[in-house]
Chains A and B, each alone.
Chain A
Amino acid sequence: MSKAVLDVKDLSVSFRTREGLVTAVNSISFSVGAGEVLGLVGESGSGKSVTGLAVLGLIDPPGEIDPRSSIKINERELIGLPEEKLRRVRGKDVAMIFQDPMTTLNPVLRIDTQMIEAIRAHEKISEKAARERARQALEKVGIPSADERLKAYPGQFSGGMRQRVAIATALLNRPTVLVADEPTTALDVTIQAQILSEVQQLCSETGTALVWITHDLSVVAGLADRVAVMYAGRIVEEGPVSAVLEAPIHPYAAGLIGSVPSRNKRGVPLAQIRGMTPSLTNLPPGCPFAPRCDYATDICRSTMPEPTPYEGGRAARCHHPLSAPTPAAA
């Protein structure tokens, strides 16, 4: 693996609610190298979006990042940076695109306004030069007659086009890291595929590290180099995509993979993971997946498994690893 440009260690994010402190992200660690793609997979409420926002420093009260966490971009620590310095990191070193393209662009501002301001927030550059860069960025994401389209309002674009504009905007300042929070979920399948390959290409061209947040394993399979599976605020399994998909270690990862519909299993009822994701206010003392797990034993219900490294750059948190790969030498 190339040197990590995004290095997250022991990241915890909690929210103060009426029911008490809810830890949405619980001391997770991962790193992404330049040009690498990490798929962050999990169900709704597993903490994957909060992780993305935390990397940008966009956690608002009542949410709070544990001050012992560490998020480094190009070796620079972001935790504890004052707001003005964080602002200069956002959009410059790390950018983000969101799930719903219909709402990520301001409906009352023209596209050029919204793109040019993103450049001029970080660089002293003339309006004209910024406009030229915005135009090139639009062309790069495949928007025809970019000059004209710059003067349009978001309402004049389709969903796929708007997501392209958002991607172009996010990549304007050639960020080191791009966090993509399910950016294709709201789009047609055909558009999804186009956008996926465009983002992949743009990121590899510029060496941008990509964190792709999704619940869709089939997206991760074709896109990511590594995958991290999140459950109830923790990363339960992490490793190279092909290894994890072929031989998952954690039963939850296996369950997720098993529930992807496939052409090869015609006529067979779709597999599903029984039960629901646990409420974060009321987690069981042991492994949070134990109540839904077919392999759970007493130790699972009482003790939280620690992350264990396995061979081939893999790791998992499970007392009863499936497909029993060799634990890496300590």
Chain B
Amino acid sequence: MLVYLIRRIGQSIMVVAVMATLVFLAVFAVGDPVAILASPDADQRELEAITTRLGLDRPIYEQFGIFVWNALQGDLGRSFVYAQPAVDVILQRFPATMELALAALILSILLGVPLGVIAGLKPESLLGRSIMTTSIFGFSLPNFWLGLMLILLFAVQLRWLPASGRGETVEVFGVHLSLFTWDGLRHLFLPALTLSLYKASLVIRIAQAGTREVMLQDYVRFARAKGLSYNRIVFVHVLKNMMIPVVTVLGLELGSMIAFAVVTETVFAYPGMGKLLIDSINRLDRPVIVAYLMLTVVIFVIINLVVDLLYAAIDPRVRLTESKG
């Protein structure tokens, strides 16, 4: 297990290094931030002053060298716009996005797993078919449209829930959280639902396929031959095997929910990292974009690592092969 862990961490570091290079070069190729930052009537001397202050007059390899050296020390540069360390700017928005992603993750598990298992146990029934058909809508409807429709229904027509913003927050260990206030939860519900419907549909389909497959296995027949109750077979024998692919996919999807909640956050004017990214791209705030992408890479890498470890926890076969190797 330890060898496995060390090897996996080594691979993760490689991925981060390669991504850092790619991200830096890609962002460097996009637009001229000075033109956007400086006032329109600034003269040549002022423009040059800004360029020098931001370090944009140096050759690209030197800029890259400085970037890497600083990054190794945990400094991903200062935002051109906010004049604060880019990481700080992002991290201020991080709890909001994290809350949104986690809420969406929980919703998609709560919706997806039971519906998928029901559809998998009775694939030919009307209920099973309806679930599968509905799930197609879940991942073919565009996210922003779904968000707008939910706002229209719950916020405009029914007036049950607020349409935008994050609501009241409380400070827990210096982090602003809205999960613990009623107002915060009310604000969180619609964006989280919007974000979760796609994932829930995905989970439904994976859970359905997994359940159908597992139900045909010999060990399920043997479990029935032992005289176990239907519930015991479904909740212990089937669920544990069926969750293996669901955990894999949800792990990856959690990363994408954190990193790319961009559309949902924009529709609901939710002050998270996604909205910050859009704003930064509009203003060519390179350090924030780079820092954001780097954080995303790190988050993905960490989630993948955790999924692999979780895998080993659920599935003894993974542990066994690794301890032999």
A residues engaging B (CB < 8 A)?
56, 58, 87-92, 95-98, 100, 103-109, 113-114, 117-118, 121-122, 153, 155-156, 166, 169-170
Contact = CB atoms under 8 A, between A and B. Distances in A.
Contacts of A107: 219, 241, 315-317
Contact of B320 (A97, A156, A166): A156
B223 interface: yes
A105 B240 contact: no
Majority SS at the chain B contact face: helix
Contact of A153 (B218, B227, B232, B320): B320
Given A105-B219, A106-B219, A108-B314, A118 B226 contact: yes
B241 A121 contact: no
A118 B219 CA distance: 13
Given A108-B244, A114-B223, 8 more contacts: A87-B229, A91-B227, A91-B228, A108-B241, A109-B236, A121-B229, A122-B227, A155-B317
Nearest to B214: A106
Nearest to B239: A108
- Which of A103, A106, A153, A155 has the most B CB atoms < 10 Å from its CB? A106
A58 B217 contact: no
A121 B149 CA distance: 49
Interface in B280-325: 314-317, 320
Q: Which 5 A-B pairs have the closest CB atoms?
A: A91-B227, A103-B218, A90-B227, A153-B316, A91-B226
- Which of B222, B236, B241 has the most A CB atoms < 10 Å from its CB? B222
B316 A117 contact: no
Interface string B146-162: 00000000000000000
A118 B227 CA distance: 7
A138 to B, nearest CB: 16
Given A121-B232, A153-B320, A103 B217 contact: yes
Contact of B226 (A100, A153, A169): A169
Contacts of A122: 227
B221 interface: yes
A192 B251 CA distance: 44
B230 to A, nearest CB: 8
Contacts of A103: 217-219
B219 A58 contact: no
B188 to A, nearest CB: 34
A100 B218 CA distance: 8
Contacts of A155: 316-317, 320
A107 to B, nearest CB: 6
Contacts of A169: 222, 226
A58 B227 CA distance: 11
B221 A98 contact: yes
A295 B56 CA distance: 98
Nearest to A169: B226
B93 interface: no
B223 A106 contact: yes
Contacts of A88: 227
A96 B218 CA distance: 12
B227 A108 contact: no
Contacts of B223: 106, 114
A91 B225 contact: yes
B186 interface: no
A298 to B, nearest CB: 44
Nearest to A103: B218
B224 interface: yes
Contacts of A87: 227-230
Contacts of B230: 87
Contacts of B316: 107-108, 153, 155
A92 B227 contact: yes
A121 B237 contact: no
A183 B227 CA distance: 19
Contacts of B217: 103
Given A87-B227, A88-B227, A98 B317 contact: no
- Which of B225, B229, B320 has the most A CB atoms < 10 Å from its CB? B225
Nearest to A83: B230
A98 B222 contact: yes
B222 A121 contact: no
B320 A95 contact: no
B225 A108 contact: no
A133 B316 CA distance: 25
A89 B237 contact: no
Interface in B201-246: 217-219, 221-230, 232, 236-237, 240-241, 244
B193 to A, nearest CB: 32
Contacts of B226: 90-91, 95, 117-118, 121, 169-170
A89 B222 contact: no
A58 B221 contact: yes
A88 B222 CA distance: 14
A90 B224 contact: yes
Contacts of B229: 87, 121
A11 B221 CA distance: 21
B219 A90 contact: no
Contacts of B218: 98, 100, 103-104
B27 to A, nearest CB: 45
Contacts of B317: 107, 153, 155
